[in-house]
Amino acid sequence: MHPAEALFDALLLLSMVVLAWQGVHARNMFRAVVSFMMFGLLTAVAWVRLEAPDIALAEAALGAGLTGALLLATLGRLKPERRGARLQRAAKLSMLPWLALGLAGTMTLLAVTLALPAPGLGERVLSAMPEAGVDSPVTAVLLNFRAWDTLLEIAVMLLAVIAIWSLGQDVLASTSRLPAPSLPALVRLLFPLLVLSTFYLLWRGGHGPGGAFPAGALLAAGLVLALLAGARVPERMTGAPLRCALAAGLLAFIIIAVGVMAEGGVFFAYPPRHAPMLIAIVEIAAGLSIGVMLTALFLGGEPTDTQGGST
């Protein structure tokens, strides 16, 4: 390793530890949230250093962007006197055993992890690539070799939306939008770019870093920014159209997984000549749904439609 790289890594690690500490021990909540967001960004950089650009993209969009927006929106909903309040501090003495335990656990884990041979399945994936129907190994794993995992993960995301929506109605309406006068203009500029990047990443997922998860995260970032700038979910989109957009990814996935059984009778076995097209359909449907789902999580409840009384 080049000395400059080693220095960079050391600095990165140090900053991550400092930010993590600040995130937990900051004087007030706003500072804690900002530390957390910066921690997310640096984690993305760490993924880049580990040569995992796909994870870095998702981490930057989710760990720093969307989670940060969620936390800030939550902060905005707290009563002002609590917003600036000092976080409760645990009594120092009672923390000591936990600190010792955590430290011992971390050291053990570190020792074990460093000794792991970490063979991984990389070689097997590469040797199966000719039959995968896509050029990017990550997409091949996510949407072909281990597509059943990904299907269930999308079910988990949809469940998260249903769970949050089941608690009550849209909370965003009661949240004041961010007091930033220049935001609407900025969003007007950024939103088309983000949507364009979403489709770029979806297209790119077939042969390089990108794909449904980062693309969906970018789309969500655009939509959340628009919401922060004061945009509202248009009335004709609430209700069934929105719910269909949320469900489309999972439904398309299930239909294709079962549908390919017509040829060959094996669940999720894409017929080789149709594999690229089928994977592309799944990727686009999943990517768009992920974008809408992440935005729906930010909304915090089902946007009220004019008929009133839905889920």
Partner 1 sequence: MVLPPTAMLVVTLLTLPLATATLLFASGRQPRTLTLAAALLSTCAALALGLNVHLEGVSVHAIGGWEAPLGIHWQVTVPGAVMLLATAMVGLAGAVYGAGYFVHRPGPEGRMARVFMPLWLFAWGGLNALFVAADLFNLYVALEVLTLASVALVALSARRTALQAAMRYLLAALFGSVIYLLGVALLYGQYGILDLDGLTSKLDPKHPGSRAGAVALTIGLLTKAAIFPLHFWLPGAHGRAEPPVSALLSGLVVAAAFYLLLRLWFGPLAGLLTFGVGTLFGAIGAGALLWGGVLALMQRRLKMMVAYSTVSQFGFAMLVFPLALAADREPVVTGGTLLLANHALAKAALFLAAGSLVRASGSDRIDRLVGFTGSSRWAWIAVILAAAALIGVPPTLGFSAKWLLLQVAVAEGAWWWLGAMLGGTLLTFAYLGRLLERALLAPAPAPHPPKLKIALLLPALLLALLACVMGLWAFDVETFARLEPGP
The site for partner 1 (CB under 8 A) is made up of 108-109, 111-113, 115-121, 124-125, 128, 144-149, 152-153, 155-156, 158-160, 162-163, 166-168, 239-240, 243-244, 246-247, 250-251, 254, 257-258, 261, 264-270, 308-311
Q: Helix, strand, coil shares of the chain as percentages rounded to 5?
A: 75, 0, 25
CB atoms within 10 A of CB 124: 10
What is the 8-class DSSP label of residue 232? -
The distance in angstroms from the start CA to the end CA of the chain is 56
Nearer to partner 1, 113 or 176 (CB): 113
Minimum Å gap between C-beta 140 and partner 1 is 10
261: left (phi > 0), else alpha (psi -120 to 50), else beta? alpha
Nearer to partner 1, 84 or 259 (CB): 259
Minimum Å gap between C-beta 181 and partner 1 is 37
Nearer to partner 1, 169 or 198 (CB): 169
Minimum Å gap between C-beta 166 and partner 1 is 4
100, 157, 175, 231 from 220: Cα distances, Å: 40, 13, 19, 14
Minimum Å gap between C-beta 293 and partner 1 is 12
Minimum Å gap between C-beta 4 and partner 1 is 28
Query: Which stretch of DSSP H or E encloses residue 299?
Result: helix 275-299
Nearer to partner 1, 164 or 195 (CB): 164
Residues 171, 303 contacting (CB under 8 angstroms): no
Minimum Å gap between C-beta 230 and partner 1 is 27
Q: Name residue, tokens 């655009």.
A: 222
**87 Cβ neighbours under 8 A, 6+ residues apart:** 25, 26, 27, 28, 29, 32
Nearer to partner 1, 11 or 244 (CB): 244
**Angle CA 48–53–56, to nearest 5:** 70
